[in-house]
Amino acid sequence: MDYAFFSHFLQLSSPQILMILAVLFGIFFIIKKMYAKQISFSLRMLFALCVGLFLGFVLQYLADYPSVNEAREILWYAEAKHWFGFFSAVFVAFIKMLVIPLIFACIIKVIIEIDKDMKISSLLGVSLFWILFSTALAAIIGLSLAVVFDLGKNVVLDEGARQIREITTLTSILQNLIPSNIINAMSKENIIAIVIFAFLIGICAKHISKKEEYEKSFESFKNSVKTFYAIMMEMTGIVIHFMPYAVVCMMANVILSNGFEAIKTAGIFIILTYVAMFVMFGVHFVLLLSQGLNPFIYIKKAFPVLLFAFSSRSSVATLPLNISTLQDKFGVSSAVANFVASIGTTTGLNGCAGYFPAMAAVLVASLLGVEIDFSFALMIVLVAVLGSLGIAGVPGSATMAASIMLAGIGFGENFMLLSLVLAVDPIVDMARTASNVSGAMTSALCTAKNLKALDKNIYKS
């Protein structure tokens, strides 16, 4: 009875897990001391990333590099995964708790405070151009890398039990973006639907502000929105303070959850995904240079955001940090930062909807012996851009993007050929999410520059 209590309820039934937790809390203590000594947030995040990876590899070594099935039989190993997963999940839950009310307040605040010199149509049009343009470039890069390195050649994949996700038509996707039930949209984290609803509230509030009988009540509403927004940003700052602690657990858990056997088998796909990530960073640098912005300043200031995106594997969870960084460190106006960053969590995901589904398409085509000509390549890029609409920026969303891609090019019935790639999805997803967030930040900066809503002095500081 007592054993069951410790093993099944507390997950603390082995002496090894007590040692592991002691080490983990020791690492937490070091991070706390780094904060007390005012070591920069970027360095604390980098320390957390390296220590988390090292801890994961050490535990893999002590368990003699078990396969996924073998790992389930090692009690202390399974309990370590449980606790690392718990600490990671708690932090992400706190971050995601902020997302819906933050977006709601952000968008309404953007609309009612938008400058007379900036048209809403211009904000929407310019931001969507940069977001979708970067996604198209990402798809081309993924396609090119996969073709050049013959992805799928001499690869044997097990036909697992994974099934393709339900695919809907483009019109259905667009229709689902309209929030017929805003409460349901919030519970499902349908960010675009929430943006549309908040957008309409802001437009209507701005419209009635011109009526004399509503002038006073509008000012009260405006002040309430600004106060609520300030409260949410303050809460965001408090939660973000604990980010390095979560990163340690996230990185250790990724290593423990994916055995070296699976990583080795899917090695070429993992390598090409990370190559695509770095190439996309280069593309983002070129886009910034085209707007007269220094990319070295960008990577220095954006590093903590990208590192958290890499660790958390969630564009949505990264949103609060993304918005605050764009405003405070880059000098992007509140309107552009809040609007573009929010849109960028679900549309134009450079990794999940760009290079990943393009590489998956080439992989499946190669396994099926299908020749990739210009028309086929063009179809892949178009499906990638259109498929980026309405994909939720949460871990695992790329599975839907891959399903849409394979269905769009006529390979929907062969989704099981991706089973091995999906087995190491967390490792691949880290690179994809970093690309997603970098694409959204770059799009926001380019949009702000185009609309003259960027404070260059803050950017250069």
Span 431-453, pLDDT tens digits: 999 999 999 999 999 999 998 88
Is residue 88 within 8 A of residue 249, CB to CB? The reply is: yes
pLDDT at 353 over 60: yes
Share of the chain above pLDDT 90, in %: 20
- Residue 97 sits at the vertex; the CA angle it makes with 95 and 100, to the nearest 5 degrees, is 110
**pTM, whole model, 2 decimals?**
0.76
- Chain centre distance of CA 378: 26
List the one residue out of 362, 348, 346 whose CA is nearest residue 272.
362
pLDDT at 111: 78
Alpha-carbon gap, residue 279 to 355, rounded angstroms: 11
Give 58-64's long-range contacts (Cβ < 8 A, gap of 24+). Answer: 59/20, 59/252, 59/255, 59/256, 60/255, 60/256, 60/259, 60/260
Among 34-38, 143-147, 276-280, 414-418, name the one with the lowest average pLDDT. 414-418
What single-letter amino acid sits at 230? Answer: A
pLDDT at 253: 85
Q: DSSP character for 11?
A: S
pLDDT at 159: 46
Alpha-carbon gap, residue 157 to 154, rounded angstroms: 10
- H-type helices in 114-159, by residue range? 120-148
pLDDT at 340 over 80: yes
pLDDT at 72: 77
Alpha-carbon gap, residue 206 to 214, rounded angstroms: 10
- Provide the 3-class DSSP secondary structure of residue 453: coil
What single-letter amino acid sits at 189? Answer: E
